[in-house]
Structure 1
Amino acid sequence: MTTRFSRAFAVALLALPNAARAQTPASACVADSGRELRQRLPALMDSAMIPGLALAIINDGKVVWSGGFGSRDSASGRVSASRTVFEAASLSKPVIAYAALKLVDAGQLDLDRPLINYTSYPDFRGDTLGNLVTAKMVLSHTTGLQNERIGSDSLRFSFTPGTRFQYSGEAFVLLGQAIEAITGHSLAESMKTLVFDPLGITRSSFIWETRFDDDAAVGHGRFGEVRKRTRPRFARAPSSLQTTANDYARFLVAIEQGAGLRPETWRLMQTPAVDVAPGVSWGLGWAIESDSTGKALAHHGDNSDSGFTAFTLLDIERQCGLVYFANSANGLGVVREISSIIPGSHAGLALLVYEIYNAPSALARASIARKLRSGGIDAAMAEYHRLQEENPEATPEKLLNDLGYSLLNQARFKDAIRAFRENIAAYPTSANVYDSMGDAYLADGHPTAARDAYRRATELDSTNVRARRLADSLNARLRH
């Protein structure tokens, strides 16, 4: 279930003191423009089941290479770094942060002033903690709000805003609303005015535009299944950016140079606001990785539900960086290999709890996916049992759970039930597998079986509010 640039560009930058932008001279920070990585990428993508990927590499303060690999969809169409539009997912957040900082420099937004001073927030529903939330807290992920609301969930504070780190996409929704109130325009229009037009970014938007239809990537799930392309009609600050590798690279070069920002604001963006983990802090819109060699800005994106993942890394002192977009939920499985072309220990990668492309479970996933394509669910389950006997650690609960939801997304309901049933047999004390089985039964039109599965999930985990709510709802429906 739930859980988005090539040549140096010429834009008119604000006149900024050179001393404020002093940087360490870059001497081939990225060796040979990442040639070795680029040669390895097709094989890495094949191993990770990534159909298509766009990559841009920055060295010495300019884009030295950009290109596409693989296909933008399952039928045809090569990926183009300059044309193919991807979902940027959470790589939207640094762009929102940049726009907010421009409003700070314009005197229209105060980082330390509560957002309720700019617009009203009915979603707080009288929670006085909402009165404390500031733009700085949003940008540094210290609001205490959850990452994402599911369905009719309310906004919830886990702690007093400003006291510690907790990643939150919902907080960026609030900041997006404040930006709209300040500018008097929609978020999509505001981003065009504040970011895209000044930086010469021409093929990007926070909403879907019909001009993207001619070259848009199509997302893929963890087993290679095609996902339905989302076309957002309304901007969502934390995640709805539609862009190309070339366009995002233009943005990265602007960030590296501090284009459009006052020197003190540019420095503040890179200053740790809260510690996250050893070697990792968070500034304003960016994770900051620090080690003995220096520091780098980083961010990842995960729109797995629609089949897109992304990652960017920027070393401002060495003037080098990269961005890549993948049309696969497996795209972050190769992030360590891709980021290795930028010097540093990259402590932030340890926080990304994603399946590495060559992990035993990932190899098992790929093997099962091949069997599913060639021989259907029977062949896939036979392969699962073979792998389970050969190496139990390669077949964790999540493996068949992911397969079941992959099949549900393809409306292969009975195959999904088969996968979840096998998972229940392997993990009979897991509440999650029964919760998932309930979803499959419900999708296949079996409300009684779905209710019973949800009930079993709550028996195994009394904190599973979702399963309890669904079980009660189905029970009430079945009584009438």
Structure 2
Amino acid sequence: MKFYKSIFYLLFLIGLNYSYSQTQSYSELEDKILKADSLLFQEGFNNCDFYALSKLTDDSLKFYHDISGVITGNEEFIQSIKNNICSIDYHPVRKLLSENHRIYPLKQNGEIYGAIQIGKHEFYAVGKGKKEYLTSIADFTHLWLKKEGNWILQNVLSYNHQKPGTSVQATNEKRSIQQLLIKNRVPALGLALLEKGKLTKLEMYGNLFDKQVAPIDAVFNVASLTKPIVTMLTLKLVENGNWDLDEPVYLYWTDPDVKNLSYSKLLTTRHILTHQSGFPNWRWENEDKKLKFKFKPGEGYGYSGEGYEYLKKALETKFEKPIENLADSLLFTPLGMDNTFFKWNASIDEDKFAKWHDSEGQLYKQEYKNKNVSAADNLLTTIYDYGKFAEYVLAKVTSGDSLYKRMVTRGNGKDNQTVIGLGWELLPELKNDEYALLHTGGDIGVNTLIMFLPKTMEGIIIFTNGDNGNKLFFDLIERNLSLGSLINKTAQ
């Protein structure tokens, strides 16, 4: 799977009705560059004409972005446009601002071989039946080269991205969050927000390690946020008629440690997803390091990573595929999660990995290149990829499907303070019939969270690479969710 290049670097490219005053007279060079500019945006992006886009961009295209870094080659560039810009649910419009636009010829031996185009452009979103609205403003510099009589885009600089009318507010917000990181000695924060069921904001703050600034496509180990992936994979198999929540799991797998125990014949997937398996969190917590039942499945509650590992073995046995292959085919590939992995591999850029830090903000020395696949822990992903997953979860929760209604209904006994649905924790009765759906993750040097308000179609995802990362949760929830204060009061 290709390493994802952030959707933010595409903001300068999104779409694209060309707008420019026709009252001004232009030289022949200016006319040709403006024509190429118009084709680049209107045909290549607005109409998703990838053939036209390939003809307008050089094979060795270099694209530099002030937030997302560098991309090389038009093949990867076009693939990113295809996966992102051409799959969004609104019509994007780009408008070139004539008063800021300049074109400068490049000559060799008196002949023009290229041109530098400098300007500022605005981006608008047009939803169905809605008036267009301004989403962002940015500066750009394009290097065009003349090749065989055609003008080809060679290099791009995209910078000074700002939200309309909110530059001061955005600066203050960024400064406030940076201060929050410093105060709590948390090196890096990845933040994603969902509104109306769609991913609307991706932000990255701080450093991955040392002075390595965190890029928007940073890779985090998200600890137990692995479990929601396996939960949704399992429910997808149930939805497809290929798995049964209440079928005994022993029909496909029995752990050698419990094969002679009668409780092993009672264990079901529903027990596992509602953390009523009877297993401890990890078998190594037992004195003899062996897996045992602490209670009869379905008659108690205890958070268990072992339960998810047990489910993984059963799924892999029945479908004769590793769980990562099942997840690829049913979740990652359909959702465009091109930068999500169950274990470390050669495609991951080590300089983009959020290394782990202790409560003093000091780098841990532990090996982080995990090569073992777990269904309960150690998923590697980006804030964008997990944001796409969040969109999928919210769509399922609000679909009205009976299976996913059960996912957000208490599945463990009412005598338990923690309310668990199928694979998710619930905060019920926040206000009227509103509730929160959530999961957290925590390991050495890692604290993560995903939370939804299904009634209002809101969501938040928080990735951190520090032991104190969970100290940011309450503040960020209150800032970004409409029921944040009530959620924090309930959770505390």
Under a length normalisation based on structure 2, what TM-score does the superposition of the two structures give?
0.61
CA distance in 2, matches of 1:238, 1:129: 22
Match in the other structure for 1:158 = 294
> RMSD of the alignment, in Å?
2.9
Q: What are the residue-to-residue correspondences of 1:135-174 with 2, within 5 Å?
A: 135-150=269-284, 153-174=289-310
Shift in Å, 1:229? 4.0
Which structure ranks higher in relative contact order (CA pairs < 8 Å, sequence separation ≥ 6)?
A: 1
Indicate the SS of the match to 1:67.
Answer: strand
What is the identity, as a one-letter code, of the residue corresponding to 1:213?
D
What is the identity, as a one-letter code, of the residue corresponding to 1:327?
N
8 A Cα contact 1:310 1:325, kept in partner? yes
Q: What are the residue-to-residue correspondences of 1:198-277 with 2, within 5 Å?
A: 198-214=334-350, 215-227=352-364, 228-258=366-396, 263-275=401-413
- Mind listing any 5+ residue stretches in structure 1 that lack a counterpart? 14-31, 352-480
Match in the other structure for 1:64 = 200
Indicate the SS of the match to 1:205.
Answer: coil
Match in the other structure for 2:218 = 84
Alignment counterpart, residue 120 of structure 1, candidates 238, 254, 257: 254
Shift in Å, 1:126? 1.6
Indicate the SS of the match to 1:210.
Answer: coil
What is the aligned-residue identity percentage? 25
Cα 1:10/1:308, change in 2 over 3 Å:
farther
8 A Cα contact 1:279 1:289, kept in partner? no
Shift in Å, 1:217? 1.1
- Mind listing any 5+ residue stretches in structure 2 that lack a counterpart? 1-5, 9-83, 90-165
Match in the other structure for 2:481 = 342
Indicate the SS of the match to 2:436.
Answer: strand
Cα 1:319/1:125, change in 2 over 3 Å:
same
Cα deviations by residue, 1:173-226 (Å, 9 ceiling, x for unpaired):
001111212221112222111210111111001111221134111111122221
Match in the other structure for 1:93 = 227
Q: What are the residue-to-residue correspondences of 1:363-442 with 2, within 5 Å?
A: none
Greater share of helix: 1
Shift in Å, 1:308? 1.2
Under a length normalisation based on structure 1, what TM-score does the superposition of the two structures give?
0.63
CA distance in 2, matches of 1:9, 1:271: 36
Cα deviations by residue, 1:36-91 (Å, 9 ceiling, x for unpaired):
765421111111110111111111111111111000112x322123x111011011
Shift in Å, 1:160? 1.0
CA distance in 1, matches of 2:489, 2:425: 8
Match in the other structure for 2:94 = none
Between structure 1 and structure 2, the one with the greater Rg is: 2
Cα deviations by residue, 1:360-413 (Å, 9 ceiling, x for unpaired):
xxxxxxxxxxxxxxxxxxxxxxxxxxxxxxxxxxxxxxxxxxxxxxxxxxxxxx
CA distance in 1, matches of 2:360, 2:335: 38
CA distance in 2, matches of 1:261, 1:12: 19
Cα 1:12/1:60, change in 2 over 3 Å:
closer
Greater share of strand: 2
Indicate the SS of the match to 2:385.
Answer: helix
Cα 1:234/1:308, change in 2 over 3 Å:
same
* Count of matched residue positions in the alignment of Structure 1 and Structure 2: 325
Cα 1:281/1:54, change in 2 over 3 Å:
same
Cα 1:53/1:147, change in 2 over 3 Å:
same
Cα 1:275/1:37, change in 2 over 3 Å:
farther
What is the identity, as a one-letter code, of the residue corresponding to 1:257?
A
Cα 1:342/1:10, change in 2 over 3 Å:
farther
Q: Are residue 333 (structure 1) and residue 471 (structure 2) matched?
A: yes
Shift in Å, 1:275? 4.9
CA distance in 2, matches of 1:206, 1:348: 35
CA distance in 2, matches of 1:90, 1:138: 15
Shift in Å, 1:125? 4.3
Cα 1:210/1:277, change in 2 over 3 Å:
farther
Match in the other structure for 1:133 = 267
Shift in Å, 1:319? 0.8
Match in the other structure for 1:50 = 186
Shift in Å, 1:168? 0.7
Cα 1:322/1:117, change in 2 over 3 Å:
same
Match in the other structure for 1:292 = 431
Shift in Å, 1:347? 6.3
